[in-house]
Amino acid sequence: MRTKLIVANWKMNATIAEALKFVAALRRHMQGSPDCEVVICPPFTSLYALDEALSGTPYQLGAQNMYWEDAGAYTGEISPRFLSELNVRFVILGHSERRKSFGETDVAINKKVAAALAYEFIPIICVGETEEEHNEGKTLDVVESQVSKILDGQMKSGLETLVWAYEPVWAIGTGKNATPQQAQEVMGTIRKVLAQALDAPTADKMRLLYGGSVSDKNAGAFLKQKDVDGLLVGGASLDAEKFAKIIKSFSSPQ
């Protein structure tokens, strides 16, 4: 059985002080351990502080990005070697905002995934279609192409740990979101593509997340879907009370 997973992607939000305040508030709103894995991905500047603040809690630490080289003349980048000095277990790769704003390609994401696996991080790999591609009915073709290119040439060892996040680009920060049924159709296709590219047992072990204007109001509906193993949460993850409600939706009757 796949362990359910909720990931908080804070993007470029929350100072160190605000991050520590959030953790304290989340612990107040949550009593005991959650019924799923919970990962918090703050800005790089807060990783060290949250590494200490999350120690002894059921919450895990993740990064929002990383480069594929260990060191060198790559101004502004963070290497997996640096992240390995902290208790970072997860790293988000290929988020649509990085694809759009920084020109990240599937080839670059492929290299990052390989580097992450070499350091035994758990990559959270984002795939999804633009609004134009969605309107043209190309969603499944686009996502299948992204998954195939990112998997191309990867070493087999550790692939079962990969986490895939379907984030329809047209739903990121817009208030729009795919219906739970649309999400299931795409995520079911992702699992089929993974099974064809690798094998069914490996594909069945991989966790699939939905991300795209997730809130405490709609989380439960997505979690009813067969291939939705969790959620990648953006804006709502900055509010400790709302984020706690999303976490609790895993243990609520679906």
Domain borders along the chain are: 5-248
Q: What is the pLDDT of residues 111-137, one digit of tens each?
A: 999 999 999 999 999 999 999 999 999
Q: What is the pLDDT of residues 60-103, one digit of tens each?
A: 999 999 999 999 999 999 999 999 999 999 999 999 999 999 99
Quote the Cα angle for 240-66-14, to 5°. Answer: 25
8 Å CB contact between 184 and 225: yes
Q: Does residue 239 have a pLDDT over 90? A: yes
Q: Please tell me which residue in 95, 104, 129, 134 is annotated as part of the active site.
A: 95
Query: Percent of the chain, pLDDT > 90?
Result: 89
Which pLDDT score, from 0 to 100, does residue 171 have? 80
Residue type at 1? M
- Residue 157's alpha-carbon distances to 161, 182, 198, in angstroms, are 9, 32, 11
Which pLDDT score, from 0 to 100, does residue 213 have? 86
What is the fold of 5-248?
Answer: TIM Barrel (3.20.20)
Phi-psi sector, 76: left (phi>0), alpha (psi -120 to 50), beta? left
**Does the annotation mark 160 as catalytic?**
no
Whole-prediction pTM: 0.96
Q: What's the pLDDT band for 254 if we cut at 50, 70, 90?
A: very low
Residue partners of 91: CB distance under 8 A and separation at least 6? 62, 63, 64, 65, 66, 80, 83, 116, 121, 122, 123, 124
Q: Please tell me which residue in 97, 129, 144, 167 is annotated as part of the active site.
A: 167
Q: Does residue 176 have a pLDDT over 90? A: no
Which residues are bridge partners to 165 per DSSP?
126, 209
Structural element, H or E, at residue 135: helix 131-135
User: CA 254, 247, 158, 191 torsion: positive or negative?
Assistant: positive
**Does the annotation mark 95 as catalytic?**
yes
